[in-house]
Structure 1
Amino acid sequence: MSGTLLTPESGPRTRVRPTGTSFVGLVGVELRRLWWRRMAKVVLVAVVAFVGVSAYAAYQQTRPEALAERIEDYSSIVAETTRQNASIPADEKAAQIEACQRDEAATGADTSGGAPVDFRCEQMFDPPSPESFGIVAAERTAITSSIVESGLWIFGFLAFILGASFVAAEFAAGSMGNWLTFEPRRVRVGTSKLVAAGLGGLAVGGLGVGLATLGATLVTTVNRPGADLPVAAAPIVPGDTAAQSLLRVVAIVGLGGLGGAVIGLLLRSTAGVIGLVVGWLVLVEAFVASAFAEGRLQPWFLRTNIEGFVSDGTTYFATRCGVDGCQTVSMPHSYTASWIYLLVVTSLGVTAALLAFRARDVT
């Protein structure tokens, strides 16, 4: 009778392999642990505070009263510039313009292969434009982009510290060893922590962009100038271009969170991570990148590639020497080269962190 109750799925318990928690479940657990960390609340407050201060600064700069003061100053400067230019003889103006054009041509020849040079020689005697004095109407997209771009490094650093402390603190507290007793497959555990840190970084970037958009909307609504102010229309920022730039900022902040977790897995110490980052920024990014090889090494460093990725291409300054001596010139760095660099660095860092986590002892 007992034989008739056996099914094909029946078998000794020792031969049944436990399925455990799925990878998505592990990531969900890590996200909850990340959220309940005190550092997450500190980062949240810091992002809100930065965006609030930046939005208030934008409000102060775009107030109708401030615009009226700038218009008055601009009118005085235009009148003084016009009076001074009228006193200069025509032949002297022509000579100065020709000298400017010669300098422009010489500089353009020395910087062949770099960014084009424009000394604006024909406009050297024109009065300044209203836009150069900030006499433009407040525009939501421009204010949002300004706040987000100025906060890129702050958001990225906050996400980096959040990811680093999230991983490194578990080694210091000994909870990593306890966690591995429940889930002994280290690659799954390490990958889930990296994914959670990256998602946390994306959340920090998304929060910063969302709050900046909200703040810019409030500023442009409150500081709408009246018809009596002769304010130029704000420059039109294409919606697709602005949205893509903001998304790239969010992606970089997400990479900041992932990078913090990667270095946390390698060093296993929050203090060590902070020391390494400060040393890298001060010695490598700020000194080595510009001091060696006349600045031509900058395309191989993080700062240049992050700027190139966010801004859809960037420029850097390097020293170029020729028969007439050495000059500092502006060199282009493309968006494609930037994202390829970031992709390669991220892949190498994640691979190294997982291999180290798999091989090293955990106490």
Structure 2
Amino acid sequence: MSRLLRVELRRLWARQITRWACVGVLALAAISGLAVYLSAPPPSAQEVANAQEMFAADQEAWETDGEQQVASCEADAEAEGRTPEEWGCDQMAPRLEYYLPPTQTFVPDATQQELMFGAEEVDADDDATAAAVEEIRGSVWNGWAGLASLDDVAVLLVLVALVVGVSFVTAEINSGSLGMWLTFEPRRQRVYWAKAAAAALGTVPLVLVGFALLVAASYAVYASFGTLGGLTGAVWLEVAAFTGRLVAAGAALAAVGVALGVLFKHAAAAVGVVGVVAWGSLVFGFGLGELQRWLPTTALTAWLQGGSVFSTERCTPSADGVFECLPVDHVVTTTQGGLTLLAVTAVLTLLAALVFRRRDVS
């Protein structure tokens, strides 16, 4: 089996699609670095001077009539049956950052988290879920920052692994080379498992090097601007953990690609099915309610980001009998997301192995 695996690995890396995937990963890293460079510059000296001038003027006015404004805000909140905090009365005082253009840092800070999620309260079924939602939203992979944008780009790397896995099988089926290969190695089960393992292992360098380039390019840009933020050893450990989960997801999706290639025999059909599932999950997912936790897209997000949050709608009658519908937050843990991805990979792989054993591939 080890000899067959080595042969399949050489065949994988000899294919043109794999080489083009390498080029695509390099292009992705370059485009991502350019996008960061164009969007991450800090405020200019002139913008800072203008902001300080306007802040000083408003601060002077606030010292004169700030108490009156807060009192008026609290009265309005009470009239609407809300607390002053819910009405934002404690946020009315001028702050210098209000007058500056938003600035990204490599690691998100509290201000960026507030820009991303606002001051909304977590509405969950229990305190443990609420605490988990707060922890997920407070991670380095959420917020408005450099690292928080890399996780979205990183998903493209696992999709590249999936496409390579699909093409690895469909190209050989449609060209007839797979049928010829089976005349030399007639044990179909060994051939299938070798191809699945080769796709999973062979795409590891693509995903690993690709994400390393993304992180390096983003880090270099923010370092040049002096806006790295609170970069600590703990943050780098989280980056390393994310990288490990990303590599595992890439390997799983490459194996899924091989399975879909065997089941559908055509690359366009296999990739199209993945696209339809992803599109349907994003468009119609909210309507599934609690079933959202079992969607592949939710599982992938939870696995990569160390947990995922999704919302359902809870409708209850108010005192006057009118139904009021409010969103309720739910959490999918890293473990649950990983097990869901593993289950999907295992089911598709076993099904494809059974089909490959009997299907004509000539």
Distance 2:161 2:238 in 1: 25
Pairs within 5 Å for 1:164-243: 164-220=166-222, 223-225=224-226, 234-237=229-232, 238=234, 239-243=236-240
Question: Alignment RMSD, CA only?
Answer: 3.3
Deviation of 1:62 (Å): 4.4
- The residue type equivalent to 2:209 in the other structure is L
Secondary structure of 1:236's aligned partner: coil
Distance 1:267 1:218 in 2: 43
**Greater alpha carbon shift after TM alignment, 199-208 vs 143-152:** 143-152
In the alignment, does 2:254 pair up with 1:286? Answer: no
Distance 2:244 2:295 in 1: 22
Secondary structure of 1:297's aligned partner: helix
CA contact (8 A) 2:163 2:254 kept: yes
Deviation of 1:345 (Å): 1.6
Distance 1:330 1:80 in 2: 41
Pairs within 5 Å for 1:120-159: 122-127=90-95, 129=97, 133-135=101-103, 145-146=147-148, 148-159=150-161
1:334 equivalent in structure 2 = 333
CA contact (8 A) 1:97 1:122 kept: no
Extract unaligned runs of 5+ from structure 1.
1-22, 106-116, 226-230
**Greater alpha carbon shift after TM alignment, 309-318 vs 122-131:** 122-131
> Cα–Cα, structure 1 residues 136 and 262, in superposed 2: closer, same or farther, change >3 Å?
closer
Deviation of 1:77 (Å): 5.8
Deviation of 1:257 (Å): 1.6
Pairs within 5 Å for 1:230-269: 234-237=229-232, 238=234, 239-269=236-266
Deviation of 1:241 (Å): 1.7
What is the aligned counterpart of 2:306 among 304, 312, 318? 312
CA contact (8 A) 1:195 1:258 kept: yes
CA contact (8 A) 1:205 1:250 kept: yes
> Cα–Cα, structure 1 residues 217 and 313, in superposed 2: closer, same or farther, change >3 Å?
closer
- Which of the two has higher C-alpha Rg? 1
What is the aligned counterpart of 2:70 among 93, 98, 102? 93
User: In the TM superposition, what whole-angstrom CA distance separates every residue of 1:37-73 from its partner, at most 9, and x where no partner exists?
Assistant: 1211221111111111111222334446x55465346
CA contact (8 A) 2:208 2:243 kept: no
User: In the TM superposition, what whole-angstrom CA distance separates every residue of 1:166-203 from its partner, at most 9, and x where no partner exists?
Assistant: 11111111111111111111111001111111123322
CA contact (8 A) 2:55 2:95 kept: yes
1:25 equivalent in structure 2 = 3
Distance 2:245 2:275 in 1: 24
- The residue type equivalent to 2:342 in the other structure is L
> Cα–Cα, structure 1 residues 182 and 149, in superposed 2: closer, same or farther, change >3 Å?
same
Deviation of 1:81 (Å): 5.3
Secondary structure of 1:43's aligned partner: helix
Distance 1:118 1:337 in 2: 34
Q: Percent identity?
A: 26
Extract unaligned runs of 5+ from structure 2.
109-139, 319-323
The count of aligned residue pairs is 319
In the alignment, does 2:48 pair up with 1:54? Answer: no
User: In the TM superposition, what whole-angstrom CA distance separates every residue of 1:251-275 from its partner, at most 9, and x where no partner exists?
Assistant: 2222222221111111111121122
> Cα–Cα, structure 1 residues 357 and 131, in superposed 2: closer, same or farther, change >3 Å?
farther
> Cα–Cα, structure 1 residues 89 and 246, in superposed 2: closer, same or farther, change >3 Å?
same
> Cα–Cα, structure 1 residues 352 and 55, in superposed 2: closer, same or farther, change >3 Å?
same
Q: TM-score, normalised by structure 2?
A: 0.76
> Cα–Cα, structure 1 residues 74 and 193, in superposed 2: closer, same or farther, change >3 Å?
farther
Q: TM-score, normalised by structure 1?
A: 0.76
In the alignment, does 2:271 pair up with 1:277? Answer: no
> Cα–Cα, structure 1 residues 136 and 306, in superposed 2: closer, same or farther, change >3 Å?
closer
Secondary structure of 1:330's aligned partner: strand
CA contact (8 A) 2:252 2:342 kept: no
Secondary structure of 1:184's aligned partner: coil
1:20 equivalent in structure 2 = none
- The residue type equivalent to 1:273 in the other structure is A
CA contact (8 A) 2:162 2:253 kept: yes
